[in-house]
Chains A and B, each alone.
Chain A
Amino acid sequence: MKFSNVLATAGEWLRGEGPHHQVVISSRVRLARNLRSRPFPGWAKKAERTSILELVRPRVEELSEMQDSFSESLQDLSALDRQVLVERHLISREHAAKGVGSAVVINRRQTLSIMINEEDHLRMQSIRSGLQLKQAFKLVDKIDSALESKLEFAYDRRLGYLTACPTNVGTGMRASAMLHLPGLVLSELINQVIQAVSKIGLAVRGLYGEGTEAMGNLFQISNQTTLGEREDDIINRLSKVIETIIEKEHDARQVLLQKKPNTLSDQIGRAYGVLTYAHAMASKEALNLLSIIKLGVDLGAFPEERRFSIDELFIETQPAHLQKTSEQKLNAEERDHLRAQIIRERLKLFPRPDISKLAREPGNGSAKGPSNNE
């Protein structure tokens, strides 16, 4: 499969409508694995990295999941193409900075991406739409078992799978979900939630993982520890916490609807107004406003069938995707113009917000009765 094919189709996780898709954008599970008695990529010399790549890559490409896959060496991808993959969460920012001796293999549906010689020899990631951590784990676990029959992984009886960074040792697993939490942000409850989550050994991060800012009311929540707990238990624990956060988000939206309907209408109206008429729009501003429109769809102010076109804009207005669409390198100012233009055109077909719908119960059964969980 060529890069243009990857670009032309949105990943399944973006168009799919997984469970709790109003709040949970996607679920990801990655496993870190290394070959026995070979230096980790960060310490290996170029020749060694290349020889590891030559050993691992054919094994990855021949997996049944990887029929008709996209497989490319990092050095053969332009900086822009790498950035596109980062924006789609198919490779990490760290991997995008790699050159000779690193590669990425992505399956046709873009639900599975395997980075070779990132921080570890293998970083296998499965991504699904909505809250589907178990399903994501199932796929990546299957891939791991298949590769394990062909490659000897570094494994210690006591410490489990050995990884370049001691924070990943044991299961080598990082499970995470991307949550859209405008209700909690607007009601200023988000810091409380972040603190509570941090206290129980889970991490909350921004859009592109570690060290990135939270934009568009999007937050990633993931497990922090990997040793001393079974994969299933980690995933169950994380899923439970996420379910609680989903409930809190819906509660926050209900409270906003009842107590601050004017603030909510004002936010949605302003977001619609700016997006419809602006001629320059920075990426961060676009994400923040699109987030409010997405909330508007959730609450019934916009028709449900418009949801996908908004979800698409979240990705399409990212810097690399913009430049890829326009087939030229653009400076920041040109990007902001083009971004505004794309959004304006998309919103032409978008009806004005129907604020009267806001006062009523939101559609799509997003509202839950009082929780009977702990």
Chain B
Amino acid sequence: MLCDVCKCNDATVFLTQILEGKMQKVNLCDACSKEKGVQDPTGFALADLLLGIGAAEEIEKGASTQKCPVCGFGQSDFKKTGRLGCSACYVTFAEGLNALLKAMHKGTEHVGKLPERAHRAIQLNHRMRALTENLQKAVAAENYETAASLRDQIKQLQSELPNSS
């Protein structure tokens, strides 16, 4: 039996853990079990480990025979490699992937860099969201000077938005 994480070595560590009422089984090779800290019970986070494996299952639940119309990639391929076929796969397998991404990341929406090509309005919106968040933080911290400056920046930005309703 192959290791569920690296998929190259034979599994020598077999784990069963009950997570949210569901039984999860994981088979690991020696190297991966050490890497994931399995041999140290206090440091072992099964949730992290399950990301890759859960991923395959999530997608399987969605549509087991579905193929990406753009690149022909199927969910069984994902199970094998843990990688997708092309950028369109994110749309094809969106249902399964969304749950996976939610478990894997801090948030479900990108708030970072935008390509220049992306519409300027998106950039303004993102900037607006960041400013609003910072304003809330500043108010909470009773940092009124910063808050006032942020409020002015928000006003300025609102005037730049194409149709500020």
Residues of A within 8 A of B (CB): 34, 36-40, 42-43, 119, 141, 144-145, 148-149, 152-162, 164-167, 169-171, 173, 191, 194-195, 198, 201, 205, 210-211, 224-231
Contacts and interface: CB of A to CB of B under 8 A. Distances in A.
B86 A40 contact: yes
B47 to A, nearest CB: 11
The binding surface of chain A is classed by DSSP as loop
Contacts of B165: none
Interface residues of B, number: 45
Contact of A159 (B77, B101, B106): B101
B22 interface: no
A154 B31 CA distance: 34
**Residue of A34, A119, A198 with most chain B CB atoms under a 10 A cut-off:** A198
Nearest to A152: B117
A165 B83 contact: yes
A28 B73 CA distance: 32
A166 B101 contact: yes
A224 B103 CA distance: 12
Interface in B103-151: 104-118, 122, 130
8 cross-chain pairs, A with B, having the tightest CB-CB distances, nearest first:
A228-B107, A160-B110, A154-B87, A227-B105, A228-B106, A43-B85, A162-B87, A171-B112
B81 interface: yes
A141 B113 contact: yes
Contacts of A39: 71, 73, 85-86
A230 B83 contact: no
B97 interface: yes
A40 B105 contact: no
B42 A43 contact: no
Given A36-B87, A155-B115, A155-B118, A229 B106 contact: yes
Contact of B115 (A37, A148, A230): A148
Given A36-B87, A166-B97, A211-B6, A229 B112 contact: yes
A171 B130 CA distance: 16
B51 interface: yes
A148 B117 contact: yes
A157 B122 contact: yes
B105 A156 contact: no
Nearest to A196: B43
A159 B113 contact: no
B32 interface: yes
A161 B110 CA distance: 8
Given A40-B86, A165-B82, A166-B104, A171 B37 contact: no
The binding surface of chain B is classed by DSSP as loop
A225 B31 contact: no
A166 B116 contact: no
B84 A40 contact: yes
B90 interface: yes
Contact of B87 (A34, A148, A210, A231): A34
Contacts of B87: 34, 36-37, 40, 154, 156, 162
B15 interface: no
Contact of A201 (B70, B81, B106): B106
Nearest to A160: B110
A166 B55 contact: yes
A40 B86 CA distance: 5
Contacts of B105: 169-170, 225-228
25 contacts: A37-B87, A39-B73, A40-B86, A149-B116, A153-B115, A157-B118, A157-B122, A158-B110, A162-B90, A164-B83, A170-B110, A171-B113, A195-B42, A195-B43, A201-B106, A225-B106, A226-B105, A227-B104, A227-B105, A227-B106, A228-B106, A228-B110, A230-B111, A230-B130, A231-B113
A211 B130 CA distance: 36
A160 B43 CA distance: 31
A161 B111 CA distance: 11
Nearest to A148: B115
Contacts of A210: 35
A71 to B, nearest CB: 25
A307 B90 CA distance: 49
B88 interface: yes
A167 B35 contact: no
A40 B85 contact: yes
A169 B106 contact: no
